[in-house]
């Protein structure tokens, strides 16, 4: 187990290194950060002087080494816009994003498992057919449109739910959470559904097809022959084996969902790190962009590690690499 973690840790370090190198090398193509820092009528000399002061005129390697030296000590540089360490800025926005992803995940699990199982058991029912048809539509509608549609319906027309932001949050052991207040929960509903709308159809289809396959397998047929109750066959024997590939895909998709939050957060003005990233790109806030990419890279590594661990728990036949 320890060997597994050590191996993963070194993999993570390599991933971080590669991400930092790539994000550092694209920053010159993003535009000129100075333009966002000064007014329009500031002269070119004045801007050059500021650029010199900030070390932006140094060669690439000099800049990268300066960054790397600090990064090793945990300092990813200061955001130009927030004027604070980029890492702190991102960490402050992380709870909002994780809560959004969490909300979406709950919605996905609550809806995809029962619907997927039902339509696998009753593939010919009108409900299954409707769900399958809708899921195609769901996959193809862009997040942006879903979000605007939901806002229009639930915020403007019906006036049931708030249109933007996170609402009231409360502090739980240093974590600003929206899950503990009614207002915070209300604000979570629309963005969570929007974010879930990308993955939900995918999971319904995945669970359905996996389940249908499992239901055709020999051991399920044997169970039927033994006269075990249908409920036990469906929900204990079949479902457990269905979930294995779903967990694998799910782990990867949760990482992807963190990336998808960029769009959802922008539409809902959700104060998370996806929105932060998009703004940083617009402002050419390069230290913040680099730090974001590194943090998201780390999230991917961590979720994948967790998935591997859970996989091992669900299916003891799987051996973790390095585990003897």
Partner 1 sequence: MKKTSLLFAGVALALNIASAQAATLRMAYDADPVSLDPYEQLSGGTLQLSHMTYDPLVRWDRNLGFEPRLAEKWERIDDNTMRFHLRKGVKFHSGNTLSTKDIEFTFKRLQDSPDFKGVFAPFKALNVIDDYTFDLVTAKPFPLVLNNMTYLFPMDSAFFSGEDANGKPKDLLVKHGDSFASRTISGTGPFTVSYREQGVKVEFARNPNYWDTNSPGNVDKIVFTPIKEAPTRVAALLAGDVDFIAPVPPTDHKRIKSSDNVELVTMSGTRIITFQMNQERNEAFKDVRVRQAVNYAINQEGIVKKIMKGFATPAAQFSPKGYLGYNPALTPRYDLKKAKALMAEAGYSDGFSVTMMAPNNRYVNDEKIAQAVVSMLAKINIKVDLKTMPKAQYWPAFDERAADMMMIGWHSDTEDTNNFFEFLSACANKETGAGQYNSGNYCNPKVDAMMAEANAVTDPAKRAGIMQAMEKAVYDDAGFVPLHWQNLSWGARKGVDIAPIVNGMNFPYLGDLVIKE
Kindly give, in sequence order, each residue whose CB lies less than 8 Å from that of residue 150, ignoring residues fewer than 6 positions away.
190, 193, 194
Smallest distance, partner 1 to C-beta of residue 285, A? 10
Residues with Cβ within 8 Å of 4's Cβ and at least 6 positions away in sequence, in order, are 320, 321, 322, 323
Report the half-sphere exposure of 203 (CA within 13 A, side-chain side): 28
- Nearer Cβ to partner 1, position 195 or 276? 276
CB of 262 to partner 1, least distance (A): 12
Angstrom CA distances, 123 to 69, 94, 116, stand at: 59, 41, 10
What is d(CA 121, CA 102) in angstroms, rounded to the nearest whole number?
Answer: 28
Q: Report the nearest approach of partner 1 to the CB of residue 256 (Å).
A: 22
Give the nearest distance from C-beta 138 to partner 1 in angstroms: 21
Comparing CB distances to partner 1, the nearer of 81 and 118 is: 81
Residue closer to partner 1 by CB (options 41, 216) is: 41
The Cα–Cα gap between 54 and 15 comes to 28
CB of 134 to partner 1, least distance (A): 25
| CB of 258 or CB of 263, closer to partner 1 | 263
Residue 87 CB, nearest distance to partner 1 (Å)?
Answer: 15
CB of 231 to partner 1, least distance (A): 45
Burial class of residue 185 in the structure, from the number of CB atoms within 10 Å of its CB (0-12 exposed, 13-18 middle, 19+ buried):
middle
Minimum CB distance to partner 1, residue 86 (Å): 12
Q: What is the C-alpha separation between 248 and 244, in angstroms, rounded?
A: 7
Choice between 122 and 269, CB closer to partner 1 = 269
CB-nearer residue toward partner 1: 152 or 222: 152
Q: Which two tokens stand for residue 273?
A: 């790190």
Closer to partner 1 at the Cβ: 194 or 305?
Answer: 194
Residues of this chain that bind partner 1 (CB under 8 A): 29-33, 35-44, 46, 50, 54, 78, 80-84, 148, 151-152, 155-156, 159, 162-165, 266-269, 271, 275-276, 279, 282-284
Rg (CA), the chain: 24
Residue number, 31 or 123, with CB nearest to partner 1: 31
CB of 37 to partner 1, least distance (A): 5
* Closer by beta carbon to partner 1, 162 or else 201: 162
């Amino acid at each position: 187990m320890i060997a597994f973690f050590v191996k993963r840790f070194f993999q993570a370090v390599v991933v971080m290194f590669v991400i930092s190198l790539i994000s550092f090398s694209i920053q010159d193509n993003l535009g000129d950060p100075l333009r966002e820092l000064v007014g329009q009528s500031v002269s070119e000399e004045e801007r050059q002087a500021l650029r010199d002061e900030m070390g932006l005129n140094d060669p690439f390697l000099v800049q990268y080494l300066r960054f790397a030296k600090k990064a090793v000590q945990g300092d990813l540089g200061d955001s130009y816009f927030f004027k604070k360490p980029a890492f702190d800025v991102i960490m402050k926005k992380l709870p909002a994003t994780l809560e959004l992803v969490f909300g979406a995940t709950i919605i996905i699990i609550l809806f995809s498992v029962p619907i997927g199982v039902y339509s696998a058991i009753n593939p010919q029912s009108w409900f299954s057919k409707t769900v399958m048809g809708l899921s195609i539509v769901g996959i193809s509608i862009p997040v942006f449109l879903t979000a605007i549609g939901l806002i229009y319906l639930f915020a403007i027309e019906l006036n049931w739910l708030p249109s933007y932001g996170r609402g009231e949050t409360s502090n739980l052991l240093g974590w600003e959470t929206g899950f503990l207040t009614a207002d915070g929960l209300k604000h979570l509903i629309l963005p969570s559904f929007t974010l879930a709308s990308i993955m939900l159809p995918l999971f319904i289809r995945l669970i359905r097809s996996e389940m249908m396959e499992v239901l055709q397998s020999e051991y399920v047929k044997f169970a039927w022959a033994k006269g075990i109750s249908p409920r036990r066959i469906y929900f204990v024997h079949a479902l457990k084996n269905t979930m294995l590939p779903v967990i694998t895909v799910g782990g990867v998709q949760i990482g992807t969902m963190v990336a998808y939050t960029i769009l959802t957060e922008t539409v809902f003005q959700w104060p998370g790190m996806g929105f932060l990233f998009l703004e940083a790109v617009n402002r050419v806030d390069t230290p913040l962009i680099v730090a974001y990419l590194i943090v998201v890279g780390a999230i991917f590594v961590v979720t994948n590690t967790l998935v591997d661990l859970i996989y091992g728990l669900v299916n003891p036949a799987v051996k973790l690499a390095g585990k003897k």
